[in-house]
Amino acid sequence: MQYRYEQIAGILENKIRNGEWQIGQKIPGELALAGEFHVGRSTIRETLNILQQKGMVDKRHGSGTYVKENKQKMENPIMFLSSIGQMIENAGYEAGSIFYSVTHETPDLVVSDRLGLTQQDRIVVMNRERTANGVPVVFSYNIFPEKLVGDIFDEGLKGSIFQLLRDKCGVTIAGADTFIKGVNPNNTWDELALVYLKEPVVLLEQLHVNDEGIPVLFSYDYIRTDIMNLHLRRKM
């Protein structure tokens, strides 16, 4: 049997999770909530304490109570290759995209070397910001040989890059060489990722290959370290 304050906490938690109350929004005060649920203010205080312990609200002295960004961390072992969307969903969150752009360009020397291209080859650069339950967690630059993917990304993308490559190009990602790097604010791409994510990030520089070992995707994935934990086990 739940206490009344626990029942009310569940109701208010649903308001936060379904987006009725947005991050940063001030929620109704104790008196208003007490009247809405026909309980005393002490019951509402217990309710708000539960939400605060869960990291869902921030009680500010003299100002009120505000919806707080839930920074429960997502655990992801990086020895197993999965798409960014899969990493988010495996942690129990809904994956989404809130920024997306595609350009067709000439590769610089770094990219052409990684993907085994010539300066005459073209590349497709896709940028998007991935979200977990609507909160930005990853900013990615995905770079493909144009001769491999053509214009399949030009009209947008919902869901997994890995899946689209399988369905449209017959390409299966079999593995990736991943380098974990710090970010350099003087680097244009690093700087842009910091602007969008606005939080501490780590960079995963990844070269994905197909089942024949041929490079098919070079990516820079900027991951928020306050939300997503990346770990691996090292053995002697």
Q: Predicted confidence band at 72 (pLDDT cuts at 50, 70, 90)?
A: low
Place of tokens 């085994």: 116
**Residue 236 placed within a domain:** no
Q: How confident is the model over 197-218, as pLDDT tens digits? A: 877 888 999 999 998 889 999 9
Q: Are residues 62 and 88 in the same domain?
A: no
What is the domain-level CATH number for residue 183? 3.40.1410.10
Segment 20-41 shows an average pLDDT of 91
Q: Are residues 186 and 106 in the same domain?
A: yes
The pLDDT, as a whole number, for residue 143 is 97
Residue of higher predicted confidence among 173 and 86:
173
Q: Are residues 105 and 218 in the same domain?
A: yes
Note down the domain range covering 141.
74-231
The pLDDT, as a whole number, for residue 88 is 77
**Residue 99 placed within a domain:** yes
Q: Is 92 exposed, middle or buried (0-12, 13-18, 19+ CB in 10 A)?
A: exposed
Q: Indicate the Cα dihedral angle 25, 31, 34, 35, nearest 10°.
A: -100
Q: Are residues 125 and 47 in the same domain?
A: no
Segment 43-55 shows an average pLDDT of 85
Task: Report if pTM > 0.85.
Answer: no
What is the domain-level CATH number for residue 31? 1.10.10.10
Amino acid at 206: Q
